[in-house]
Amino acid sequence: MDAGTNLGHLRREAGLTQAQLAERAGVSRSLVSAIESGRHLPRVDAALAIARSLGVSGEFLFDTSASRAIDVLTGVPPEKGEALRVAFVGDQAVTTPPRHSDAGWQAVDWTSDSGSAGLDLHRAPSLVVAGCEPSLPLVEQLIGRPGVKVMAISATTEQALAALNAGRVHLAAVHFQDMDVPPLPKGGAQRVRLGQWRVGLATQPRPPGRWWEAVLAGERDVIQRAPNAHAQLAFERARRTFQEGESGHPSPQPLAGPRVASHLAASRHCMASSLAAVTIEPAARAVGADFHALETHQVEFWIRPEVTQEAPVIRFSELLQSAGFRRTLEHVGGYDLDGMGTVVS
């Protein structure tokens, strides 16, 4: 990530406008703007003043070496002392926090205060994939082996596509309605089909009849996803349609309820509470929840064209066409796997 992108991200994280940052650092707003747009690198004294105003070191803010590690989803370098997993996309080291779960701990590869030299110890053929498809941890388990690093990161479709566009992942898992295909990354992408699943609402088993109507009417708190998550957007579309039909109200009010980071987390939370959850059918089935469909979404993996012939990516493509992988998804249920592993024209 370049210095301008880093500065812009840190400034926004601090809640500052360009003018406010410039005032704090004793520099002009035009200088801050020029740095963020990539038109200018500041003198050392100005760079240090800007860094101090953001509470970071000048090295942290303006080091643009290719070997410097950055977060897969945000593109931001880690804070000092973070424990992280590491993989490489080309020459770029990318990181993500270890994913500790009910099943146990995940290994830490590197700590950010150990220096960039330690990153090269983890340079190996890699596959980095992001998205909200619940089978991604299975991909990591089946493809990872000694000498091959696989990192699967839970993310919304928008986050995954942003990382793909920036070159921080090899491929992204995306889902969408037939008539609403997201824009392709600027460098294009090879689209490989997984199948389709339904987006909707989950609740505990044996609910009362037409239980989802109270949810769509805004009468119940709901476990939700991030505002830009495609499942959340599907839920909001369904709410608008339902409420317009009932009362002509064009703009449903925001609903209360926790927001969670994945379809499976939403479904599990639903089973442990009295709340309905925005999720997908495979995740609801996996935990034994009742499910009501709102939309059907296509599910694809989008691969950066320049990495399609790398060995881990080829192994991934082979996995999608394997009987064992299909059998696992069929056992979970909720998937329509017609055409799985085929390239979408």
189 and 202 fall within a common domain: no
Shared domain check, 203 and 272: yes
Q: Is the pLDDT of residue 309 over 80?
A: yes
The residue segments making up the domain with residue 123 are: 68-193+300-342
Could you identify the residue written with the tokens 């920036």? 166
Q: What does R_g of the chain's alpha carbons equal in angstroms?
A: 22
Residue range 185-207, pLDDT digits in tens: 988 999 999 999 999 999 999 99
Quick one: which of 45, 306, 65 has its CA closest to 188?
Answer: 306
Looking at the structure of the chain, the number of domains it has is 3
Same domain, residue pair 266 and 318: no
Place of tokens 């329509």: 336
Which stretch of 55-59, 75-79, 145-149 has the lowest confidence by average pLDDT?
55-59
Concatenated DSSP letters of 204-257:
-SSPPTTTHHHHHTT-S-EEB--TT-HHHHHHHHHHHHHHHHHH---SPPPPPS
Task: Mark whether 306 and 270 lie in a shared domain.
Answer: no
- Domain CATH for 78: 3.40.190.10
278 & 156 share domain: no
Q: pLDDT of 129-139, one tens digit each?
A: 999 999 999 99
Q: Which two tokens stand for residue 191?
A: 């689209």
Q: Tell me the CA distances in angstroms from 20 to 23, 26, 64, 130, 233, one per residue in order.
A: 5, 10, 24, 35, 34
The most confident of the ranges 11-20, 31-40, 260-269 is 260-269
> CA-CA distance, 160 to 169, in Å (whole number)?
8
State the residue for tokens 């950055």.
Answer: 70
Q: Is residue 83 domain-shared with residue 185, that is, in the same domain?
A: yes
- Residues 3 and 103 placed together within one structural domain of the fold: no
pLDDT digits (tens, 9 = 90+) for 115-131: 666 787 788 889 999 99
Note whether 184 and 308 are same-domain residues.
yes
C-alpha span between 314 and 170 (Å, rounded): 11
Domain boundary among 59, 83, 108: 59
Q: What is the arithmetic mean of pLDDT over 219-233?
A: 96
In which band, very low, low, confident or very high, does the pLDDT at 2 lie, cut at 50, 70 and 90?
low
At 154, list the tokens. 């839970």
Residue 66 has what pLDDT?
A: 43
| Same domain, yes or no: 144 and 52 | no
Please tell me whether residues 327 and 290 are part of one structural domain.
no
- Residues 6 or more apart in contact with residue 51 via CB below 8 angstroms: 57, 58, 60, 61, 62
Predicted confidence band at 4 (pLDDT cuts at 50, 70, 90)? low
Higher pLDDT, 123 or 285: 285
Say yes or no: 258 and 231 in one domain: yes
Q: Are residues 170 and 257 in the same domain?
A: no
CATH number at residue 224: 3.40.190
User: Per-residue pLDDT tens for 60-92?
Assistant: 676 554 457 999 999 998 888 899 999 999 888
Assign 310 a pLDDT band (cuts: 50, 70, 90).
Answer: very high
